Structure 1
Amino acid sequence: MKALFYTDTKQTEIMDTPAPAPRFGWSRIRVSHSGICGSDMHAWHGHDERRVPPMILGHEAAGIAADGPHAGKTVTINPLISCNTCADCQGGRPHVCADRALVGMAFPGTFAEEVLVPDTNIYPTKLAPKQATLTEPLACALHAVQLATTRMPGAASAIVLGGGAIGLLAARCFALKGLGRIDIAETNPLRRSLLADTTGARPYDPLNHTPAQADIVLDAVGSGRTRHAASALVRPGGTIVHIGLQDCAGGLDTRRLTIQEITFVGSYCYAPKDFRAALALLEDGNVSGDGWTECRPLDQGQQAFTAIHDANAPPKIILTI
Structure 2
Amino acid sequence: MKSVVIAKPGELVIEERALPEPAAGEVRIKIAYASICGSDVHIWHGHNPFARYPRVIGHEFFGVIEAAGPGVEASRVGERVAVDPVVSCGHCYPCSVGRPNVCSELQVIGVHRDGGFSDYAVVPARNAYVVPPSIPDKLASLIEPFTIAANICAFLKPVPDDVALIFGAGPMGLTAIQALKGVFNVRNVIVADRLPERLTMAQENGADTVLDNSEIPLAAQLEGVKPTLIIDAACHPAILAEAVALASPAARIGLLGFSGEPCTVTQQSLTSKELSLFTSRLNSHRFPQVIEWMEKRLIQPEKLVTHYLPLSEVEAAMTLFEKDPRSCCKVVLKVS
TM-score by length of 1: 0.92
Q: How does 1:23-62 map to 2 (within 5 A)?
A: 23-62=23-62
Partner amino acid for 1:291? Answer: K
8 Å CA contact retained: 2:160, 2:187: no
3-state SS of the aligned residue for 2:174?
helix
CA shift digits 1:235-284 (9 cap, x unpaired):
22211100122443314454311322211111112221x22101111122
| 2:6 corresponding residue in structure 1 | 6
Verify: 1:79 aligned to 2:79, yes or no.
no
- In structure 2, stretches of 5+ residues that fail to align are none
Selected match of 2:125 from 119, 122, 141? 119
Match of 2:328 among 283, 293, 314: 314
Whether 1:285 aligns to 2:297 is: yes
The question of 1:19 aligning with 2:12 is answered no
**Residue 146 of structure 1 aligns to a residue in which SS?**
helix
Mapping of 1:1-321 within 5 angstroms?
Answer: 1-68=1-68, 69=73, 70-125=76-131, 126=133, 127-149=135-157, 156-175=162-181, 176-209=183-216, 210=218, 211=222, 212-272=225-285, 274-293=286-305, 294-312=307-325, 313-321=327-335
Check 1:201–1:12 CA distance in 2 against 1; reply closer, same or farther (3 A cut): farther
Closer, same or farther in 2 for the Cα pair 1:192/1:65, shift >3 Å?
A: same
Partner Cα distance (1:279, 1:196) in 2: 24
CA contact (8 A) 1:141 1:173 kept: yes
Query: For residue 28 of structure 2, what is the amino acid of its counterpart?
Result: R
The letter for the 1-side match of 2:334 is T
Tell me which moved more, 234-243 or 305-314. Answer: 305-314
Structure 1, 71-80 or 88-97: larger mean CA deviation: 88-97
Question: 1:154, CA displacement in angstroms?
Answer: 7.5
| CA deviation vs aligned residue, 1:178-205 (integer Å, no higher than 9, x gap) | 2221011222333322221223443322
Give, in whole Å, the separation in 1 of the partners of 2:108 and 2:138.
Answer: 21
- In the alignment, the residues of structure 2 paired with residue 64 and residue 299 of structure 1 have an alpha-carbon distance, to the nearest angstrom, of 20
Query: Following the alignment from structure 1 to structure 2, what is the Cα–Cα distance between the partners of residues 28 and 119?
Result: 9
**Conserved 8 A contact 2:40-2:57:** yes
Give the match's secondary structure for 1:214. Answer: coil
SS in 2 for 1:317: strand
| Amino acid paired to 1:107 | R
CA contact (8 A) 2:235 2:256 kept: yes
Displacement of 1:168 after TM fit? Answer: 0.6
Instruction: Give the Cα separation in 2 of the matches to 1:188 and 1:11.
Output: 30
Q: Highest CA radius of gyration, 1 or 2?
A: 2
Shifted more, 239-248 versus 199-208: the winner is: 199-208
Q: Which moved more, 1:311-320 or 1:251-260?
A: 251-260
Q: Give 1:166 shift.
A: 1.5
Ranges in structure 1 where 5+ consecutive residues have no aligned partner: none
Moved more, 234-243 or 37-46: 37-46
Count of aligned pairs: 318
Match of 1:183, SS state, is strand
3-state SS of 1:7 partner: strand
SS at match of 2:123: strand
Q: 1:251 to 1:282 in 2, by over 3 A?
A: farther
Maintained 8 Å contact 1:149/1:155: no
Give TM-score scaled by structure 2 length: 0.88
State the 1:131 CA deviation. Answer: 1.7
